[in-house]
Structure 1
Amino acid sequence: MQKKSIIVRGKNTFYLDYGKFDAPVVLFLHGFPESSLLWKEAAQAVMEAGYRAIAPDLPGFGQSEAFNEPSTWERYVEFISDFTAELFIEQFHLVTHDWGVLIGTKWACTYPERVQSLIISDATFSPDFEWHKDALTIRSLVGGEQFVAYLQNKPVFEGFMKKSVPHVSQAIIDDFYNLFSDPKKDKVTLELYRSGDMNKLEMYRGRLAELLSMPITIIFGEHDTYILPELGLKLKQEELHQASYHIIPGVGHFTPLETPTEFIALLIQHLNQI
């Protein structure tokens, strides 16, 4: 099934849209350096379970055009409102990964009445989080530009993806690589990571359980070296006490791609309990 496209604030935005128009919606938000194709298998499974699965290429990622303004964390949060308004979607289950967690959870804290449930995968939402080595490089002056230039070398990018997800398809690699192949997207990575100051989450400390009172599932790969699984457990223990917490054995950061069967099983289990 091909991606659809829609104009959001004057920019062409691509997205997966599987399932009946009037079915309950599951909205998927990817992270870096991903696209909606991160969710292709999960979206198909959700459709087969009777839901409508919608997964955008966030602006600048995949096939979507970048913002005119800087691609900051805050701007991506605004995008969720813009995108769902264009599709006339009022309520939905929210499934997030990596940067999608920071974007989607921040949005959910502002509009909790619109989020029926939340899945957080391979990321946390805490002012105590300290960025991993690659993120610190991207956030640094000069180092960030060098890092992006490094990934613009397609064989290098392909090697990174195949090391992380050995069985990843060429179609997914190519779609993810759109972030680095278009000169109009050169600043997207830098602007996003450099806007990622965790002290912006201090306002939510001790309030997440109150703000996010919906059902929540937290999923991590056992060997995630970017965002350690114990940070997901810390998030549950200190903030989201109602959340269920799962570790998928033997895999790293890209759980929806590395172990789609196990990830989908947890996703369907989550939806069936609601």
Structure 2
Amino acid sequence: MLAVEVLGSHMHYLDTGGDGPPVVFLHGNPTSSRLWAKTLEHADLGGRRAIAPDLIGMGRSGRPDLEYRLADHVEYVDAFLDALGLRRLVLVGHDWGVAIGMELLRRRPDGVRGFAFMEGHLRPLESWGEFDEGGREVFRRLRTRDEGERMVLDDNWLITQVAPDYAEFYPDARSRRPLLQWTREIPIAGEPGDTAALMAAGWAHLRRSPVPKLLVHAAPGVVVTPAKVEQCRAELPALTTVRIDAPGHFLPAEAPEALAAALSAWLRTFDE
């Protein structure tokens, strides 16, 4: 992996080194750039340069003294793009990488050529009722002071139960603080207010933006349910949707060949 200085810290990243326009892959919680490795092995990007950073505080990237709010991550990825001189790029996001990507598209309306997304919240949730029953109970506990700390920091629940392949990156309580904060960033019934406002603005811009968009979804999906797929089809311009067979939330790891095929076919349309 490579590393670059960003805002007084550093961010590690995978880089295929292609000569073509850049495609930036953004992971979410509680993973790292490794999430995209198998997908990139199978993808035919037509000579494009594929770049997958570890978000700040995650993977092998630095762990500066931050709150690790959504706004913090946006600032660091925005600065990361500038540090590498990336222009006219395509963004691909999973999980929280979707919200980061939406805000970057809003900030850089002339600098992003396309946006592909999967299994990430696109807008604030009106109520806890938008969670599935299992997720509702778990996230209530994660967002409860002291109980969430015990689950994530002390017992390492997110890694052992959700993403054990990433254990090496989060060996102790301090390294797991960004993971806990992500569970508390999902805006539900208007809280936290600043994150709700940021995501609402990103969703509003996505509904106006003419850039090509790709929604890759599974059935029934975890975060992106059939109802949300239909909402995207009804409200987002220039949208392509592709359904792939995947059992859960982590589509890039669960169905890398199918995802690679969907991304590769979509990217080829940019060359037509």
TM-score by length of 2: 0.84
Q: 1:146 to 1:98 in 2, by over 3 A?
A: same
RMSD: 2.4
| Structure 2 unpaired stretches of 5+ | 189-195
Equivalent of residue 112 in structure 1, options 101, 109, 112: 109
* Pairing 1:158-177 to 2, within 5 Å after superposition: 158=160, 160-161=162-163, 173=165, 176-177=166-167
| Secondary structure class of the residue paired with 1:120 | strand
- 1:179 is displaced (CA, Å) by 4.8
Counterpart contact for 2:26–2:52, Cα < 8 Å: yes
CA drift of 1:124 comes to 3.3
The 1:17/1:149 distance shift into structure 2, 3 A limit, reads same
- SS at 2:248's partner residue? coil
Q: Tell me the amino acid that sits aligned with residue 174 of structure 2.
A: K
Residue of structure 1 equivalent to 2:87: 90
Aligned-partner residue type, residue 149 of structure 2: E
Can you list the C-alpha shifts for 1:53-101, whole angstroms capped at 9, x where unaligned?
A: 0000111111112232210000111112110111111221101001100
Contact 2:46 2:268 in 1 (8 A): no
Matched, 1:142 2:146: yes
Indicate the residue corresponding to 2:268 in structure 1.
272
- 1:12 aligned to 3, 10, 13, which one? 10
Aligned with 1:85: secondary structure? helix
Q: Evaluate the alpha carbon distance shift between residue 262 and residue 144 of structure 1 in structure 2; reply closer, same or farther with a 3 A threshold.
A: same
Displacement of 1:188 in angstroms is 1.0
Q: May I ask how many residue pairs the two structures share in their alignment? A: 255
Aligned match of 1:236: 233
Q: Which moved more, 1:198-207 or 1:5-14?
A: 198-207
Q: Shift in Å at residue 32 of structure 1?
A: 0.8
Is the partner of 1:24 in helix, strand or coil?
A: strand
- 1:184 aligned to 150, 160, 174, which one? 174
Which residue matches 1:165?
A: none
Hey, what's the Cα distance between the residues in 1 that align with 2:82 and 2:217?
A: 31
CA offsets per residue over residues 36-57 of structure 1, 9 Å max, x none?
A: 0111123344566311000001
Query: Contact 2:152 / 2:179 at 8 angstroms: preserved in 1?
Result: yes
Report the CA distance between 1:181 and its aligned residue: 1.1
The separation in 1 between residues aligned to 2:38 and 2:176, in whole angstroms, is 29
Distance 1:253 1:229, change over 3 A: farther
> Could you tell me how far apart the structure 2 residues matched to 1:177 and 1:225 are?
23
1:38 aligns with 2:42: no
Q: Distance in 1 between matches of 2:232 and 2:154?
A: 33
TM-score, with normalisation over the residues of structure 1? 0.83
Off by >6 Å, runs of 4+ in structure 1: none
1:197 is displaced (CA, Å) by 2.1
Give the CA deviation at 1:138. 2.3
Cα distance change, pair 146–266 in 1 and its aligned pair in 2 (3 A): same
Query: Aligned with 2:110: secondary structure?
Result: helix
Separation in structure 1 between the aligned mates of residue 76 and residue 139 of structure 2, nearest angstrom: 23
Distance in 2, matches of 1:218 and 1:48, equals 17
SS across alignment from 2:20: coil
